[in-house]
Structure formats: structure tokens, C-alpha cells
Structure 1
Amino acid sequence: MQPHYKVQAVAKMLGTTVDSVRRYVDESGVNVSRQASGPKVRQFTIENVFDLAAWRRANRPKISIRRKTIATVYAPKGGVGKTTLTANLGSIFALMGLRTLVIDLDFQANLTLAFGYDSELTLEEARESGVPEERVVQYHLGHLVPGWPGGRGALSDVIKKPFGENGPHLIPSDLTLDRLDTILTYDAIEGKKSDLKIAALVAEGLEGTNPSFDLSTYDVILFDAAPAKNRMTRGALLASDFVIAPVSLERYSTKAVSYLSAVLQDMHSDVGRSPQLVMIGNFHVPNRLRVYGQVGKLSAEYPGALLNVMVHRSEEFPKTLSEDEEQPPLVLARPTGGAAEQLHDVARELLRKMGVV
């Protein structure tokens, strides 16, 4: 069940004041219900909040969009907070009024689950248990790629909108997405440029010339790539302007970062381009000497790549992201907490780093 918010929490999510939120409601016409008993205070739904964010973007723009950006969130090893970061960044970008699309490229579908969709649920099971059919994952990115068995589908059939039209949009995943990697492998064996297939797909969508596959309205597109170096991950990297790499400062892996750097160098040698590396320090523990040493080493070996703002270790993360799969991303589940505030800081700094704002 999705939560309801008081005006103070909404102000936190939108980065504004309580009085401003009340004005937004009055001027926008967004229908916000009031508490049924007791004080008649407003109770905002998640959709209400994203609707207000979109209205503010259109009517009182606080940010100027300099460029549309495609990024892949990728780490060569698991356990660094990649999917958690993707879900929260996608939510924050939408709270800022950015039209945001997140694409789950991991057939284990953890990002899909983070947005409330159980990829293993079938239509029959949903009907038997009274779950709305919209919550069932039937399509993924593979269904949008030319050459998919059974024919290419339309974006409108694939897109999920977990928090309404103005929240982050999702292209979900399930186990059958693994077939896309097989298709790309066969294409490569036949001498086709399979690595560029996803990049070509995204480029076509951004042009907006195909009504059934129009990505031109999005400001930010985020791929959540699997830790493995498969052809889907390589394709997403080639489609991207940036690769966002979470780095665990608690269990820093020199090999993982070196491996990613080598992957990008090889990619540039092969095709003449690669995304720009941006690293985000995760699980940061202030005042720990070892962590300072790791930050210094990263800054020295990869000048300018490490984001100045980091995500601290917090007990808030497991409480909202692993114990209850029905909870939305942390910035929506606990919007007034310290961890949510840090994630907002990271998102703003990341957008500046990528030149989006």
C-alpha cells in the first residue's frame, strides 16, 4: 500500500516550503484529499506529489534543462547499491520535474521489484489473487528491439507508471529478457553490429520520428545494467553519455574500478566512443581513516570522476528496501530522513556534473 504524506513531507520531497506547497495545490488544481476524521489536514498521495512537481516545472520552472542525458548505472560487482541508487535517482529526478525513464536491464528484475512489480507474477495468478493486471510484467526492452521473436511491440505497451503519469516511468524486466542477450550474440556471430543495436534503438526513440517508440519527451534516461559484462550492458554503455558507477567505500574494490576503466578504454578503441565515468561513493562512514585513504586514491587515479557528494551508510536503507517489498524507494518511503536528504544532494550534484542543469 502506497503511503500518504502530510504537507511537511511533501515540502521536503519538492525542496521547497510548506507555504509554497499549499500555493501549488491551490493554483494547480491538483485534487488532494483531506483526512476523513479529526483535523481536516491534506493527505497527499505519491501521484499528487509528482503531479505538483510537473506543474511547478511547467509553471514555475526552478531549473533550466541544458541537455537531454542518457546514463547507465553500472558496477562490475554486486553489493554496491547500484539498483537502490537507480530507483532513488529516478524518483528524485521526477520530483525535480524532469521527465525520467528508467530501464531495467537485469533479468533478475530487482529494479522492477523496487518500483512495486513482481516480475514472476503471471496473469493467471494476478486474477486469482485480485491483483490488478497492470501490476503484471508482460513486456520488457527486448519486445521493443527489431528482430524480437513475434515482432516488435509499442513503447506504450511496455511502459509502467508506478506513481502516475508524472512520476518516473519504467521499462521493466523479467527472466525472459535474457533472450535479448542471446539474440545480440547470434547477431554478432553473423557479423552484424549487435553492440550498437541498443544505441541505435535509443537514437531512433530520441528523434521522435516513430510514434510507437517515442523517447523525445524524456529529459533523463537511466539504464540499470546487470553486473555481468554481457552484450546488453555493452549496448547500454554505448547508448549512454555517462556511466554512473557506485563504489562501496566500505568494501572498496580496486579490481572492480580498474576493470570498469579498462572496459571503457577498450570500448573507445573498438568503436571510437565510450561514456564518461562518474563515480558515486556509497556506504561512506565519516571520520574513518581507511575511507579517507580510499577517497584520496580514487581522486588521484581517476581525476574528476568521483562525485563530491557521497552516500553515507544508514540503517534507513535496509528498513525500506529489503524488509518490505511493497515500500517505494527510500526518498518516497522516508522523505524526511537524513538518508533521503543525502540522496537529494547526490542527485543535484550528479545533474550538475552531467550538465543536465
Structure 2
Amino acid sequence: MPMPKPDSPRILVVANQKGGVGKTTTAVNLAAAMAMGGLKVLVIDLDPQGNASTALGVDHHAEIPSVYDVLIEGMPMADVVQQVEGFENLWCIPATIDLAGSEIELVSLESREARLRRALEDHVKNEPGNYDYVFIDCPPSLGLLTVNALVGGNEVLIPIQCEYYALEGLSQLLKNIDLVRAHLNPELAVSTIALTMYDGRTRLASQVADEVRRYFGDTVLSTAVPRSVRISEAPSYGQTVMTYDPASSGALSYLEAAREIANRGVGIQSTGDEGQA
């Protein structure tokens, strides 16, 4: 069943400086689910570890043109984007090991916080037919790469795992988002919170989910993604869970979450109110 297209491209920054919360997993599986629903989707891998590129089966060895060339060399995104095998509507801009030193290299460059934004304007915002959704997978830190993502995007999607200390460190991320909104990108809004690694058998998981819903209200997706062996196994086969085991609880949950995001995106414009619908 096809998913509804947004009026203009939605650029979602998938961020949480806490590692191991299912950030990359959420980015690639939502992207794959939306592509299967007929939407045109781009994943930008902004993490030097390149896990999103690996999960999508995209080549990202050192000689491959990558997001590093976009940020540091000013290469157009059109020259580095790769179509994801097996998907008609899914593309990826990979991360290579070169990205590891880019935080230091960016410091001395002109408009260091807005380099990704400029590239996105050329490739996505000025060419609205190219994509319906862009997911930017950030590194688990709040350095210049993440700042570039926050300046380039319209919305922030925060994956939160349903475990003890789930909200730890989140206040710093929200503070940084406020700073970016105040000084660099007034359009930015936290539009989506995704609950990940949900284990319905434990009281802790439901307590954390309740706490997150109380704190963030309607921005929390009603679909919680379960803890799943299939989701964990898929990247080692260069796949998302959507193709690795489409009938699994993890795949069905991401499909449901993707549909929820797409339904929320109908009729919203690229403004500061984006994602609040």
C-alpha cells in the first residue's frame, strides 16, 4: 500500500549522542520501509563508522566518492549518491573512513556549519522532485558533523531506547538543537521521537515508554520498535530488516512507524512548525 507524499521534501536528522540506541538501524529501516511504500528516499551517512552504508549494502571503501567530498571538497551530491541495490526508490550518500578527520578539517573552512545545507539546497531543496524524504544519520556526538546535519535539516528524529538511563544526556542534545535553532536554522524542530528496543515482557520498558510519552507528548510515535534478533542480524548481510526478514516483528514495526511518519507529513510545509502536525 503506497505511503502519502509530503508537499515538499522532509529532511530528518536522526540524532542522539548516546551510542547504542538504534539510531542507524532506525534511519536505514525507516528509509527502506518508505522506499517500499513508493516514496523517494535518500540516506546520508554522516557517521565515520559507515554503519548506514554497510546496512544498505553500499560500497564505501576509501576510494569511493563520499559525504567527505561533499563537506570538505564541495563536490555536488549528485556525484556521490549511489542507488541502493534491490530498491527502485532508495539512494545513499556513503561515509568513508576519510570522514573520521573531517571534524578537524571543517574547523578552518568557510561556513563550516552550513556546508551540508548548501549541498542539500542544490540537490534536494532546489530539485524537489528528486526525493520525498532525506534521513541524515549522525555520529553519536555533538561535534561539527552533527551541527552540519542540524543546520541542513528541517526536523530532528530522536531514537530513544526503552532501557534504564534512556533520557540521560538528552537534555544536552535538546539544548544544542535550541542553540542551532536560535543562531543557525530557525526552521529546525524536534518532530519525531521513536522508541526502540522495546521489550514488552519487562515493566522497565513500559515505564520508560510512559516517561518518554509524558515528556514529549504527541511527537512520540505510537509504534514502538521491539528488541529483535532479526533487526540486529540484517546489517551483517548488507541488508535492512525490511528485505532480510520482511515478515518479522521488527520489519513490521518499522513499516508501521514509517507509515505513521508519512501520514504526519501530509500537508505540512518546510517551516518552523514542521512536524508538529
TM category (shorter chain) comes to 0.7 to 0.9
The 1:296–1:207 alpha-carbon spacing in structure 2 relative to 1, beyond 3 Å, is: closer
Query: Could you tell me whether the CA contact under 8 Å between 2:4 and 2:266 is conserved in 1?
Result: no
Rounded Cα–Cα distance in structure 2 between residues aligned with 1:244 and 1:177: 22
Rounded Cα–Cα distance in structure 2 between residues aligned with 1:259 and 1:234: 13
Structure 2 unaligned residues grouped into runs of 5+:
269-277
Match of 2:243 among 328, 332, 354: 332
Query: Could you tell me whether the CA contact under 8 Å between 2:12 and 2:136 is conserved in 1?
Result: yes
Query: Could you tell me whether the CA contact under 8 Å between 1:115 and 1:329 is conserved in 2?
Result: yes
Q: What is the CA distance between 1:117 and its match in structure 2?
A: 3.6
Bigger Cα displacement from structure 2, 270-279 vs 301-310: 270-279
Query: Could you tell me whether the CA contact under 8 Å between 1:70 and 1:240 is conserved in 2?
Result: yes
- The CA deviation string for residues 1-32 of structure 1, in whole angstroms up to 9 with x for no partner, is xxxxxxxxxxxxxx4xxxxxxxxxxxxxxxxx
Q: How many correspondences in the alignment?
A: 267
Query: Could you tell me whether the CA contact under 8 Å between 2:43 and 2:135 is conserved in 1?
Result: yes
Q: What is the CA distance between 1:64 and its match in structure 2?
A: 4.5
2:143 maps to 230
Query: Could you tell me whether the CA contact under 8 Å between 1:244 and 1:279 is conserved in 2?
Result: yes
Q: What is the CA distance between 1:179 and its match in structure 2?
A: 4.1
Q: Higher Cα Rg: structure 1 or 2?
A: 1
- Is 1:267 matched up with 2:193? no
Report SS of the residue matched to 1:279: strand
**1:333-352 matches, cutoff 5 A:** 333-352=244-263
Ranked by relative contact order (alpha carbons within 8 Å, sequence separation 6 or more), the top structure is 2
1:63 maps to 4
**1:1-357 matches, cutoff 5 A:** 15=1, 63-117=4-58, 119-120=60-61, 138-145=64-71, 148=73, 152-163=74-85, 166-187=88-109, 192-208=110-126, 216-271=129-184, 273=186, 274-286=188-200, 288-321=202-235, 325-355=236-266
Rounded Cα–Cα distance in structure 1 between residues aligned with 2:185 and 2:57: 39
Query: Could you tell me whether the CA contact under 8 Å between 1:72 and 1:225 is conserved in 2?
Result: yes
Structure 1 unaligned residues grouped into runs of 5+:
1-14, 16-60, 123-136, 209-213
The 1:197–1:275 alpha-carbon spacing in structure 2 relative to 1, beyond 3 Å, is: farther
Report SS of the residue matched to 1:301: helix
Q: Give me the identity figure in percent.
A: 21
TM-score (normalised: structure 1): 0.68
Report SS of the residue matched to 2:194: strand
Rounded Cα–Cα distance in structure 1 between residues aligned with 2:128 and 2:103: 22
Report SS of the residue matched to 2:48: coil
- The CA deviation string for residues 203-243 of structure 1, in whole angstroms up to 9 with x for no partner, is 222354xxxxx574111111111011111211111111111
Rounded Cα–Cα distance in structure 2 between residues aligned with 1:220 and 1:356: 14
